């Protein structure tokens, strides 16, 4: 930017934007995205900035600090900024991510913001010459994902989606076995996700003095402050996320696609139904649901919410009894493999223990998700969960959310990324964005 913005002027121009005016910082910002990417040698510790200083963001930044320097932190909540500075006392503090991106000595960012801010910040960072480690789910809508993939290709920036299960040896093993025919012909995939909360109605409250609630809402229509809408529980509101479908679903559906071999494509149909209605005035993302997908190769996938150790007394943690906790179960003509964090099991132990003698498909190997990102910053190769893979993984989740809201079967073209003969469904591939927090912010 050509004009310096302090916190007071930022709040003032944000208020003008809410009233419909175009603030000066927006016009200046359009001219500010011309920083050149800095080359790194193999021994360099890259300079990273954390945008979004909640618990998850700080956790990711702490892991990154083993191989990188955290030189800046940014958040709209002064309390969270303070918590981040306890871990990174030498970092420069920002409440405006646009000013942070002006620093030419920053090589990359960690995006730990809520879902509805991911895409605009990621696009802005890529255009500013920064590489990106973005928390999942990568996007709020399918349209956002298509745009982000194009920007990543145009800028040649490295973008790692925080779907770290791809760097876990158990998930890698499961997918490599399935992809190389260990289960015979793959027929079905079961994705179990945790059920979400079903709370409400909730009452509005005074905005905490340390929080910039107007800017926090970003592209979403302004609403009164409700504590349950913010921070850790934002993901249970459709405005900002998609519930456990896009939260845990971004992890487990990603593994499902990897095992099916469709990580750069998607299903050809989706059908869904909620298992319970939400409470008026409460959370708006469905908490209990089932979604059915069919892929062009004939594989059928069911993604459903589960209540572990439910009221009927079933122990869902015992696959040998036919019950599974949240995780992914691949079933083929020769048996099944179930995988979740810290655990992998099979219908026959030899399905796991017998070595793969010949591999027709070798999957990307990453032993550490953050280290893979930093390595790719140095080498400029694609990371294990690049922009397109991250987009496709959450696209499966978005399709499920749309089908849940429409409550009918939908046909999907994974190449064109459009529903077939369904204008109503296609209209839900994007959402109306409150100005100035729309795509014009990053053109």
7-44: pLDDT as tens digits: 444 444 343 333 333 223 323 432 333 333 455 665 68
HSE-CB at 296 with a 13 A cutoff on CA atoms is 9
* Cα–Cα distance for residue pair 131/307, rounded to 1 Å: 38
Q: Tens digit of pLDDT for each residue in 113-124?
A: 999 999 999 999
Secondary structure (3-state) at 360: coil
Tokens of 181: 């025919």
Bridge partners of 190?
302, 329
Average pLDDT, the chain: 89
User: Does the pLDDT at position 442 exceed 90?
Assistant: no
Q: Residue 321: its pLDDT value, please? A: 46
Cα within 13 Å of Cα(251), Cβ side? 20
Is the pLDDT assigned to residue 233 strictly greater than 70? yes
- Per-residue pLDDT at 304 exceeds 70: yes
The token pair at 95 is 């409440």
**pLDDT surpasses 90 at 49:** yes
Domains of the chain in start order, with CATH, are 7-165 (3.40.50.720), 167-364+388-429 (3.30.360.10)
Both tokens of 410, joined, read 């939908």
Structure tokens at 9: 């002027």
Q: Is the pLDDT of residue 81 over 90?
A: yes
| Secondary-structure percent of the chain, ordered helix, strand, coil, rounded to 5 | 35, 15, 45
Lowest-confidence pick of 20-34, 321-335, 370-384: 20-34
What is the DSSP-derived secondary structure letter of residue 77? B
Whether the per-residue pLDDT at 360 is higher than 90: the answer is no
How confident is the model at residue 322, as a pLDDT?
53
The confidence score (pLDDT) of residue 154 equals: 97
Taking 60 as the threshold, does the pLDDT of residue 314 lie above it?
no
Region 78-96: mean pLDDT is: 98
Q: What percent of the chain has pLDDT over 90?
A: 81
Which of the residue ranges 133-137, 212-216, 280-284, 350-354 would you say has the lowest mean pLDDT?
Answer: 350-354
- Cα-Cα-Cα-Cα torsion 304, 309, 310, 314, nearest 10 degrees, comes to 90
Report the phi/psi class of residue 60: left, alpha or beta, with left for phi > 0 and alpha for psi in -120 to 50. Answer: alpha
Cα 233 to its chain centre, rounded Å, is: 15
pLDDT band at 357 (very low <50, low <70, confident <90, very high): confident
Q: The tokens of 263 are what?
A: 């990580």
More confident residue, 311 or 147: 147
Q: Whole-model pTM?
A: 0.89
CA distances from 243 to 77, 112, 142, 238, 329 (A): 23, 17, 16, 7, 21
Residue 328, pLDDT score: 97
- Confidence class of residue 139 from pLDDT cuts 50, 70 and 90? very high
Q: Which two tokens stand for residue 168?
A: 């876990």
What does the pLDDT read at residue 42?
A: 59
Radius of gyration over every alpha carbon of the chain, rounded to an integer in angstroms = 22
């Amino acid at each position: 930017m050509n004009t310096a913005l302090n916190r007071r002027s930022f709040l003032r121009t944000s208020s003008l934007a809410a009233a419909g005016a175009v603030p000066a910082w927006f016009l200046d910002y359009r001219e500010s995205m011309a920083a050149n990417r800095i080359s790194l040698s193999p021994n360099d510790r890259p300079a990273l900035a954390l945008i979004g200083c909640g618990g998850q963001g700080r956790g990711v930044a702490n892991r990154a600090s083993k191989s990188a320097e955290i030189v800046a932190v940014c958040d709209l909540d002064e309390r969270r900024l303070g918590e981040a500075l306890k871990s990174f006392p030498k970092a420069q503090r920002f409440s405006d991510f646009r000013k942070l991106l002006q620093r030419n000595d920053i090589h990359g960012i960690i995006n730990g913001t809520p879902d509805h801010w991911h895409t605009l910040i990621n696009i802005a960072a890529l255009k500013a010459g920064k590489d990106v480690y973005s928390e999942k789910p990568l996007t709020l809508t399918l349209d956002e994902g298509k745009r982000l993939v194009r920007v990543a290709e145009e800028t040649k920036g490295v973008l790692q989606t925080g779907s770290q299960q791809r760097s876990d040896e158990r998930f890698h093993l499961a997918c490599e076995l399935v992809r190389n025919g260990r289960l015979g012909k793959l027929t079905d995939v079961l994705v179990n996700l945790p059920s979400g909360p079903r709370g409400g109605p909730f009452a509005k409250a005074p905005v905490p003095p340390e929080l910039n609630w107007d800017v926090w809402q970003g592209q979403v229509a302004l609403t009164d402050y409700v504590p349950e809408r913010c921070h850790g529980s934002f993901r249970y509101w459709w405005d900002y996320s998609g519930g456990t479908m896009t939260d845990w679903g971004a992890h487990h559906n990603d593994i499902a696609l990897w095992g099916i071999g469709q990580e750069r494509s998607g299903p050809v149909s989706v059908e869904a139904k909620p298992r319970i209605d939400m409470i008026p005035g409460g959370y708006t993302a469905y908490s209990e649901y089932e979604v059915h997908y069919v892929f062009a190769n004939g594989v059928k996938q069911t993604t459903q919410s589960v209540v572990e150790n439910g009221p009927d007394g079933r122990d869902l943690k015992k696959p040998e009894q036919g019950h599974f906790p949240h995780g992914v179960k691949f079933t083929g003509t020769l048996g099944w493999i179930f995988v979740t964090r810290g655990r992998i099991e099979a219908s026959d132990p030899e399905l796991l223990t017998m070595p793969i003698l010949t591999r027709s498909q070798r999957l990307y190997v990453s032993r550490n998700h953050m280290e893979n990102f930093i390595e790719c910053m140095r080498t400029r190769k694609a990371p294990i969960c690049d922009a397109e893979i991250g987009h496709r993984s959450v696209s499966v989740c978005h399709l499920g959310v749309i089908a849940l809201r429409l409550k009918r079967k939908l046909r999907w073209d994974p190449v064109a990324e459009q529903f077939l003969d369904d204008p109503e469904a296609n209209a839900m591939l994007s959402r109306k964005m409150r100005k100035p927090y729309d795509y014009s912010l990053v053109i």
